[in-house]
Amino acid sequence: MKRILVTGALGQIGSELVIQLRERYGVDRVVASDVRIAPAGEAVSEGPFEYVDCTLHEQVNDAVRRYEVGTIYHLAALLSAVAEEKPHVAWQLNMGGLYQVLEVARRYGCSVFHPSSIGSFGPETPKELTPQDTLQRPTTMYGVTKVSGELLCDYYFRRFGVDARGLRFPGLISYLVPPGGGTTDYAVEIFYEAIKHRRYQCYLRSDTCLDMMYMPDAIRATIELMEADPSRLEHRNAFNITAMNFTPEQLAKAIRQEIPGFEIDYRVDPVRQAIADSWPDCLDDSAARYEWDWRPEFDLPAMTRDILTHLRPKLELQGELQV
């Protein structure tokens, strides 16, 4: 079996994906890469690690050639809020990086996983049960790069036979590695603040409904899609997937079941609110269910309990919590 290369391996998805891929295929088979050096003691440092700036062809090419890579999980990208602050950097990284990865994949016959997002939709997209195939006219730079990325991946599949597959991720929630610069990050921060201070100030309006998913489901979906029988795939880039959808108010209520007295108030950030308002409320993921048997395992109460169980001891260990 050829090796796997993960770009953006120190990010929110990468850190957990590398661990799962190594458990499944063997530590030496999975090469983690990023533009930061892996901190000693982190799980990703327990196997091969390479510095790779994926916008530079030579660096991607060298890593793929030297490690005899057969599959690239290309995760390096800017998220929505930070992409809106730095649209030029977002275009360079999100599109420039993907282009180099696809070019190298074409040369060496690699498969490619590329994450898309609910951010690939726009205000004119149907908001409820957003269909798999529908209008995509995003109004953010992040969304523009995500739709373009979906199209580019499909082009490389049709034109050059590159086995490129992707998922439209909803907001991803994890207690291991924090996200950076997303619009849905509130749904992670809220758990830290609930444990530490029993209160949270939310930057989105209380009734902002968005699709969300717990990270273990997202990692499983990624691996299952890449292992799916290609003859069953009518779609490729990219599949709608979701596990739950809720508003900040509903999330606060679920946390209150576990932490009585937890309080939330709101100070709306107009930039992130506008981004969230342009995204769907709830996706229809029936194509993923039909074509590769996608099923989420965690709903809101199950996720809330699991996060609180694991996050409290983690914060105690880091000295961020009085025992």
Which residues are tagged catalytic? 142
H or E element in which residue 210 lies: strand 210-214
* Per-residue CA distances from 81 to 87, 258, 278 (Å): 10, 30, 13
Q: Which of 11, 47, 48, 119 binds ligand AKB (CB under 6 A)?
A: 119
**Cβ atoms within 10 A of the Cβ of 34, count?**
23
Contact (CB, 8 A) for 35 and 27:
no
Using the minimum distance from each CB to ligand AKB, give the nearer residue, 49 or 200.
Answer: 200
Using the minimum distance from each CB to ligand AKB, give the nearer residue, 48 or 182.
Answer: 182
Strand partners, 199: 263
Give backbone dihedrals phi and psi of 77, rounded to 5 degrees, phi first: -170, 160
Q: What mask of x and - would describe binding to ligand AKB in positions 68 to 87, judged by CB under 6 A?
A: -----------xx-------
* Cα(213)–Cα(101) distance, integer angstroms: 27
Q: Which residues of 293-306 are buried (b: 16+ CB within 10 A; e: fewer)?
A: ebebebebeebbee
Chain residue whose CB lies nearest ligand AKB = 182
Q: Which of 7, 145, 183, 245 binds ligand AKB (CB under 6 A)?
A: 183
Q: Fill in the DSSP letter of residue 167.
A: E
Using the minimum distance from each CB to ligand AKB, give the nearer residue, 118 or 264.
Answer: 118
Q: Which of 298, 305, 292 is nearest to 216 (CA)?
A: 298
Q: C-beta of 287: minimal distance to ligand AKB in Å?
A: 19
Q: Fill in the DSSP letter of residue 92.
A: I
Rule CB under 6 A: say whether 171 interacts with ligand AKB: yes
Whether the link from the prior residue into 32 is cis, omega within 30° of 0, is no
Q: Which of 15, 59, 100, 117 binds ligand AKB (CB under 6 A)?
A: 117
Q: C-beta of 229: minimal distance to ligand AKB in Å?
A: 27
Rule CB under 6 A: say whether 182 interacts with ligand AKB: yes
Q: C-beta of 104: minimal distance to ligand AKB in Å?
A: 24
Q: What mask of x and - would describe binding to ligand AKB in positions 207 to 226, judged by CB under 6 A?
A: --------------------
Helices assigned H by DSSP within 38-140: 57-67, 80-85, 87-90, 97-108
Q: What mask of x and - would describe binding to ligand AKB in positions 97 to 116, judged by CB under 6 A?
A: --------------------
- The amino acid present at 217, given as its one-letter code, is D
Q: C-beta of 58: minimal distance to ligand AKB in Å?
A: 29
Binding-site size for ligand AKB (CB under 6 A) equals 12
- List residues near ligand AKB by CB under 6 A: 79-80, 117-119, 142, 169, 171-172, 182-184
